[in-house]
Amino acid sequence: MQNTRVVVTGLGVCSPNGVGVPAFKEAIESGKSGIRFYSELEKLNFSCQIGGMPLISEAVKAKYFTPLQLRNFNAAGILYGVAAGMEAWTDAGLKIDEENCDFDSGTIFGVGTLGVDKYRESIYKVDEGNTRRLGSTSVQQTMSSGVSAYLGGMLGLGNLVTSNSSACSTGTEAILLAYERIKNGKATRMLAGSTSDGGPYVWCGFDALRILPSKYNANPTQASRPMASDASGFVPGSGAGALVLETLESAQKRGAKIYAEIIGGTSNSGGQRQEGSMTAPNSIAVKRCITDAVKDAQITAEEVDVINGHLTATSKDDLEIKNWSEALDRSGQEFPYINSLKGMTGHCLAASGSIECVASVLQLKYQFLFPNINLQQINPEILKVVSENRIPRGRMNLEFNILAKASFGFGDVNCCLIFKKI
């Protein structure tokens, strides 16, 4: 089982700047922002009145849900997750058995905050003494595993069906956990991904922390500025990303299209010790996560061609770059190419890792780098570590083999994955 190779055979995405892989690919190649102004946030006196939410058409809803499932349905995270998950499954060329469950296939579909709007609806009814009028679906729409439960039923999955949660590293972690499950011989195929609700009741806590930009309400598309000298906080986002992972053997036997191989990865925590805290990373752990992932992939640090960073557009961006540099022992001209999707999508929280992994896999498969947008002036602290030409500001073609993707989250948790061209 040690030699089981795990490949990506399907992709699905619901991103603020594109719903469905074709639209998303076009958006990231052209540097299209999905950040918009929301009058609801203005009405509610948010400092940051902008954000990223996927635009889901009624047609997309009707494609994946029955009219009955949509009755009293009010859980955006489940909608995004199902749309991304079902797209990935179909993209992988997999059929759905309506009769029997498939014990070789499962899902790990992570969440941060799920079903908040449904929860709010329920809370109002409960407080009015009207619990009996909640209807039959308020549990499934608000439980943390709601998204994996919906997907498990729609796809007839008979292996592990669960939802992980580790703040902003959730999505990357879901893919790592699914990879490990296949690698360990416990599943042949896993749908891995994550989802996050958006809107005032998810974003409020971040607004209260004063870590969101407040000066771009009139210019939303310019607000998210990873690595920029004038980065002023992350723009909140939402959505979902999904990848079908399976053994190379299974993919080849099915004659499936293969996007990329996952060759290793790791997750750890800084334990909120040293400089780490609930909200700040312990750099010792971040660096260790990266070096352990490289080791796990059985490559050398020199082999990493491209980094897709976490890079949220806060004052911590330069620290992340320093950590990458020290972990890989590479700097200046020798530093890998690096980009951040968050300039276009904002920070999609629990969904960020999976959406960004979809973008990473597309870059590997089609051998290009998407541009870092809104990056007029690179943070000088970053330029002390990395040469400017390693931070592409326009789309570029690039022949490359290895991409490292990391995500970090509240709770001082880290996750790093290594993807390889196949």
Partner 1 sequence: MNQEIYAKLTEIIKPYLPEDVDAASIAKDSHLVNDLNINSTHLVDIVLDVEDAFDITIEDDELDNMETVAASIALIEQKSENK
Q: Which residues are catalytic?
A: 168, 310, 347
For partner 1, the closer of residues 140 and 172 by Cβ is: 140
- Quick one: which segment of 67-75, 87-95, 306-314, 410-418 binds partner 1 (CB under 8 A)? 67-75
Contact partners, residue 266, CB within 8 Å, separation at least 6: 176, 289, 292, 293, 296, 415, 416
Helix, strand or coil, per DSSP, at residue 197:
coil
Site string for partner 1, 135-154 (x = CB under 8 A): xxx-----------------
Nearest alpha carbon to residue 260 among 417, 141, 123: 417
For partner 1, the closer of residues 39 and 66 by Cβ is: 66
Closest approach of Cβ 133 to partner 1, in Å? 6
Nearest alpha carbon to residue 182 among 255, 253, 262: 262
Residue 185 as a binder of partner 1 (CB under 8 A): the answer is no
In the region spanning residues 8 to 47, those forming contacts with partner 1, defined by CB under 8 A, are none
Nearest alpha carbon to residue 306 among 399, 407, 168, 413: 399
CA 156 – CA 149 distance, rounded (Å): 10
Nearest alpha carbon to residue 178 among 143, 140, 148: 148
**CB-count exposure of residue 54 (10 Å: 0-12, 13-18, 19+):** buried
Residue 132 as a binder of partner 1 (CB under 8 A): the answer is yes
Residue 72 as a binder of partner 1 (CB under 8 A): the answer is yes
- Quick one: which segment of 128-136, 152-160, 297-305, 330-338 binds partner 1 (CB under 8 A)? 128-136
Closest approach of Cβ 66 to partner 1, in Å? 7
Residue 100 as a binder of partner 1 (CB under 8 A): the answer is no
For partner 1, the closer of residues 67 and 129 by Cβ is: 67
Residue 71 as a binder of partner 1 (CB under 8 A): the answer is yes
Helix, strand or coil, per DSSP, at residue 162:
strand
Residue 99 as a binder of partner 1 (CB under 8 A): the answer is no
Contact partners, residue 59, CB within 8 Å, separation at least 6: none
For partner 1, the closer of residues 57 and 66 by Cβ is: 66
Residue 68 as a binder of partner 1 (CB under 8 A): the answer is yes
Retrieve residue 91's tokens.
């993209």
Looking at 43, 63, 95, 133, which residue binds partner 1 (CB under 8 A)?
133
CA 314 – CA 263 distance, rounded (Å): 30
Nearest alpha carbon to residue 405 among 276, 285, 264, 244: 264
Q: Name the residue with tokens 């960073």.
A: 309
Residue 63 as a binder of partner 1 (CB under 8 A): the answer is no
Closest approach of Cβ 29 to partner 1, in Å? 39
Residues of this chain that bind partner 1 (CB under 8 A): 66-68, 71-72, 132-133, 135-137
